[in-house]
Structure 1
Amino acid sequence: MKAPNGYTSRPSGDDPRSTEAWALGEASRRLALAAKMSDGGEALREALRLNQRLWSIFQAALSEPDCPLPKDVRDNVLTLSLMIDRHVMARLGDLDGSKIQPILDINRAIAEGLAGKSVQPAATAGAATAAPVPPKPAAGGAPVMRVSA
């Protein structure tokens, strides 16, 4: 069943990592759907902006002095966020939905890491290299990025 406003069911648990993984998956789902639409790029523009807002939240959380992640993990995810910035800005410039795969690959890799799944190799030739995955926390682990709805 689809929730209002086109959102898929959001995780109901109190696990912030699940919420973060869901948010990345939802952003990717919207990007993939928007890339196939023939509406002059409006849906793609909206999906790209949503993805950019999500990553901006991650950037802010990772930059906080009390971020619980090890510095090397923070630095790696911040580097990925800069790649996302570049790809999103390029796609906002040309609205070419056929070139969103690097964004989808990074979103997927981070979402899988947050969900504790292993990252599978990229499905398309020439796709971005699999992103480093944050270490899996012990049960009830701390949120990677404090994203609030």
Structure 2
Amino acid sequence: MSHAAQAYARTSQTTANPREIEAQALLKAARQLQEVQANWTGPDRRMYNALLFNRRLWSIFMSAVEENNNPQPLEVRQNIANIGIFVLKRTIEMQMDPDPAKLKSLIDINCNIAAGLSGRP
């Protein structure tokens, strides 16, 4: 099981609200990306690990929206898939041409979606 999936599973055991679990996982990924951005010294293991965690998390979300028993409306599922595709593309761009400015969109997406899941503005 991947580190992202393990973290997701551990978090799910500590609270019963799936939306809050997803929000916390997104915030954890955002914090890791923010640390890389704030302490930029060039591409390093921290950057690759943060990108890997975020990519795995979004892969879980994208897999979940493909499930036939997913209760979300089709439009919401399509939006999540589209955001996930953007996240994966941006991750590849970051790996091929590292630039801390490219992390901003990933951080913002995670924070904004986490806020929506938690009911925060």
Q: Paired residue for 1:20?
A: 22
Q: Paired residue for 2:3?
A: none
**Which blocks of at least 5 consecutive residues in structure 2 are unaligned?**
1-6
**Which blocks of at least 5 consecutive residues in structure 1 are unaligned?**
1-6, 119-149
Q: Paired residue for 1:74?
A: 77
Query: How do residues 132-147 of structure 1 correspond to structure 2 at under 5 angstroms?
Result: none
Query: How do residues 22-101 of structure 1 correspond to structure 2 at under 5 angstroms?
Result: 22-35=24-37, 36-38=39-41, 40-101=43-104
Quick one: which of 101, 107, 118 aligns to 1:104?
A: 107
Paired positions, count: 110
**SS across alignment from 1:53:** helix
Q: Hey, what's the Cα distance between the residues in 2 that align with 1:110 and 1:59?
A: 14
Preserved contact between residue 28 and residue 104 of structure 1 (Cα < 8 Å): yes
Instruction: Please state which structure has a larger fraction of its residues in helix.
Output: 2
Q: Which amino acid aligns with 1:41?
A: D
Q: Give the CA RMSD over aligned residues.
A: 1.7
How far is the alpha carbon of 1:116 from its aligned partner? Answer: 1.1
**SS across alignment from 1:38:** coil
Highest CA radius of gyration, 1 or 2? 1
Q: Which amino acid aligns with 1:22?
A: Q
TM-score normalised by structure 2 residue count: 0.83
Moved over 3 A (4+): none
Preserved contact between residue 42 and residue 98 of structure 2 (Cα < 8 Å): no
